[in-house]
C-alpha cells in the first residue's frame, strides 16, 4: 500500500474536483451547441408547437369532458385543465419568439473571436441539472460560442 501524506491526499482530491469541473463545463458547452442547432433547424419550434397543441387538447378534455357530469371529481379536473391552458398560453409566446429559427442563439458579445477574429461571438447562460439518487445538483455557466464554421467555445461562471 503506497504511503500518502495528508497534503498528497488533499492535492489528489483537488485534482479530482478540477477534473469533474472540466467534464461539467464540456457538457454545458455541448448542450449550448445542441440547443443552437436544434433551434436553427426549426426542430425546437416543431416540438414546441406539438407540446402547446397537446396541452390545449389536454386542457379542453379536462374542462369540457370530465367537468361535465362528474360533480365530485370535477374541481380537480377543472384546475388541471386551466393550468394546462395557462401553460399553453405561455408556450405560444415561446414558440413565436424565442424558438423562432430566424432569431439568433444567445446575446452578441462586443469583442471579436480570439480564434477567427470575427465579431460572431454569442453567449447565453446554460443550466444543467444532475440527479444522484435523491440529490439534485444544478450547474450553471455562461457559454460563449463562435460560428459553427469556427467552432470556438468558452465557458465562465455566471
Ligand atoms: Zn471564431
pTM beyond 0.85, yes or no: no
Cα 28 to averaged position of ligand 1 atoms, centre (Å): 19
Q: Is the predicted pLDDT of residue 51 greater than 80, yes or no?
A: yes
Q: What is the pLDDT of residue 68?
A: 61
Mean model confidence pLDDT for the chain: 89
CA of 138 to the centre of ligand 1 (A): 29
Report the pLDDT averaged over residues 74-91. 88
Distance CA 156, CA 106 (A): 15
Bin 132: left if φ > 0, else alpha if -120 < ψ < 50, else beta.
beta
C-alpha 83 – ligand 1 centre gap (Å): 44
Q: Which residue has the cell 374542462?
A: 63
Tell me, in angstroms, the distance from the centre of ligand 1 to residue 63's CA: 52
Distance 158 CA to ligand 1 centre (A): 22
Work out the pLDDT band at 86, boundaries 50, 70, 90: very high
3-state secondary structure of 149: coil
pLDDT tens string 13-34:
999 989 988 999 999 999 999 9
Three-state DSSP state, 108? strand
- Separation between Cα atoms, residue 155 and residue 158, nearest integer Å: 9
Rg over alpha carbons for the chain, rounded to the nearest Å, is: 23
CA of 108 to the centre of ligand 1 (A): 13
Amino acid at each position: 500500500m503506497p504511503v500518502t501524506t495528508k497534503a498528497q491526499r488533499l492535492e489528489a482530491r483537488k485534482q479530482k474536483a478540477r477534473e469533474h469541473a472540466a467534464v461539467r463545463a464540456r457538457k454545458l458547452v455541448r448542450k449550448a451547441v445542441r440547443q443552437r442547432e436544434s433551434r436553427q433547424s426549426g426542430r425546437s419550434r416543431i416540438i414546441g408547437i406539438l407540446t402547446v397543441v397537446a396541452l390545449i387538447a389536454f386542457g379542453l378534455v379536462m374542462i369540457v369532458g370530465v367537468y361535465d357530469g362528474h360533480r365530485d371529481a370535477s374541481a380537480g379536473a377543472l384546475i388541471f385543465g386551466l393550468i394546462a391552458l395557462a401553460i399553453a398560453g405561455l408556450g405560444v409566446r415561446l414558440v413565436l419568439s424565442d424558438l423562432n429559427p430566424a432569431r439568433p442563439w444567445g446575446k452578441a458579445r462586443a469583442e471579436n473571436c480570439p480564434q477567427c477574429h470575427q465579431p460572431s461571438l454569442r453567449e447565453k447562460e446554460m443550466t444543467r441539472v444532475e440527479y444522484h439518487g435523491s440529490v439534485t445538483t444544478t450547474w450553471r455557466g455562461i457559454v460563449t460560442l463562435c460560428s459553427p464554421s469556427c467552432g470556438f467555445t468558452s465557458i465562465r461562471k455566471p
